[in-house]
Amino acid sequence: MVSMLLLLVTVLSGCSSDDKNTITFWTPLTGEDGAYMDQLVKEYNATEPEIKLKHVITSDMYTKLSTVINSGKGVPDLAIIHADRVPGFVKQDVLEPMTAMLAAQPEIKEENYLPQAWSTGTIDGTQYTVPLDIHSNVMYYNEDLLKKYNAESFLDDDVVTIDEMLSLQGKLDEGDFVVNDALLGWVILGQLQNVGGDVQKDGKPALNTPEMKAAFESVKKIADAGLMTPFGEDGYLMFQSGNVLFSTDGTWSSTAHATVEGLNFGVTNVYSSTADKFTNRSSSHLFAMLKNEARTDEKEQGIGKFLEFIRQNSIEWAKAGQTVASRQVIESPEYKDYMQSFFTSNEKEIESLYIYTYEHYPYVAEAVDKYAADIVRGNVELDATLQTMQKEVEDKIAQGSSGAQ
């Protein structure tokens, strides 16, 4: 029994020692991108820092963060969160400002990052996050099909319009389609910007609006013309199979498309109703420190050193198909070898990477994703469904305000 107690003490002492000398780093990177982050952490630890990092990939991370925050135990020293989580986390007072860390790392500053990636972490003049990337809804094209259907000119101005897509009606072989429905909710939210709309007005959700209706109607034209992949079919795989001209998936998908033998593809902006305005709905992975009394000043200094390493060395993250946020990386010659460099090739492209920062955006995005496919395919009535979406979001906000889960 005594030996068992001694063993337990030894184990606990070992864990305690490990905790003091290890920065625990949680991420929700459960896909292939988790392996790229593993590699970045490995490369940083190879520099022999005083405090090394331990990367913990955490499925259902936000639920687990809520649990450890409420208990005050097991809170990670560092985490990656999404841009749309920042306003809510700040309002809940669970994020530690980056103030002291930024003071110790003078090159981690706004001008060294893509502007919208940095500003998503700025609330009332305080910086709560440091950006890793911008990941966006983009549009891949099949080079062979564009040539087959004499549609290569669609790409001349880097904006494929809905009218250009509609011009192919009646011209496609059976089984071929102009565009799929990949990330359709993201497409709708990009179109919302194109028609001058927003997801909120005066701090309240704005789904049942003329602009949201116009965004859906513009995309619905494509489906009504029989040019969108069929409802219920996997349009993403249909693109990879060579039956779809355009696929509206994510920057991160370039790595998967590249593994498909015989698929000759490129990337451009998501289609728009007008060539004058285009939007690639985006988000951002951000480094954040949740409030944690157990995190020492030494660990915070170590986090700063890691984030400075990432600022200089995150070309590895480009391999995951992400638009790296560090200007030092995206302005390097090596970065131009990556397909997503198209979206930082000029200021107009950078501006197209639109990140929603409304506090209740996660509820809005959930509602749009839930109903988008049915609306676009005409399975439900548009006006009535917009009313339903508006009410669902309002109800969730009210439940959150009352403390309900």
Per-residue pLDDT band for 9 (boundaries 50, 70, 90) equals very low
Judge whether residue 400 has pLDDT over 90: no
**Mean pLDDT, residues 397-401 taken together:** 83
| pLDDT tens column, 309-350 | 999 999 999 999 999 999 999 999 999 999 999 999 999 999
| pLDDT tens column, 65-90 | 999 999 989 999 999 999 999 999 99
Judge whether residue 298 has pLDDT over 70: yes
Cα 214 → chain centroid:
25
Query: Contact, 117 vs 388, CB < 8 A?
Result: no
Predicted pLDDT of residue 20? 80
Helix (H) or strand (E) run with residue 373 in it: helix 361-376
3-state secondary structure (DSSP) of residue 132: coil
| pLDDT tens column, 184-222 | 999 999 999 999 999 999 999 999 999 999 999 999 999
Instruction: Give the span between the Cα atoms of 203 and 189, in whole angstroms.
Output: 17
Query: Contact, 72 vs 290, CB < 8 A?
Result: no
Instruction: Give the span between the Cα atoms of 214 and 196, in whole angstroms.
Output: 10
**Mean pLDDT, residues 58-66 taken together:** 94
| pLDDT tens column, 95-113 | 999 999 999 999 999 999 9
Question: Sign of torsion, CA 270 276 281 286?
Answer: positive
Query: pTM of the predicted model, to two decimals?
Result: 0.92
Predicted pLDDT of residue 401? 53
Farthest CA pair distance, the chain: 83
For the structural domain made of 136-281+360-401, what CATH number should be given? 3.40.190.10
How do the domains of the chain map onto residue ranges? 16-132+284-344, 136-281+360-401
| pLDDT tens column, 218-244 | 999 999 999 999 999 999 999 999 999
Q: Do domains 16-132+284-344 and 136-281+360-401 have the same CATH topology?
A: yes
Of 4-13, 48-57, 219-228, 293-302, the poorest mean pLDDT is in 4-13
Instruction: Give the span between the Cα atoms of 82 and 236, in whole angstroms.
Output: 24
Judge whether residue 4 has pLDDT over 80: no
Question: Sign of torsion, CA 65 356 335 242?
Answer: positive
Q: Running DSSP on this structure, what letter comes out for residue 217?
A: H
Q: Running DSSP on this structure, what letter comes out for residue 230?
A: P
In this structure, CATH architecture of domain 16-132+284-344: 3-Layer(aba) Sandwich (3.40)
Per-residue pLDDT band for 19 (boundaries 50, 70, 90) equals confident
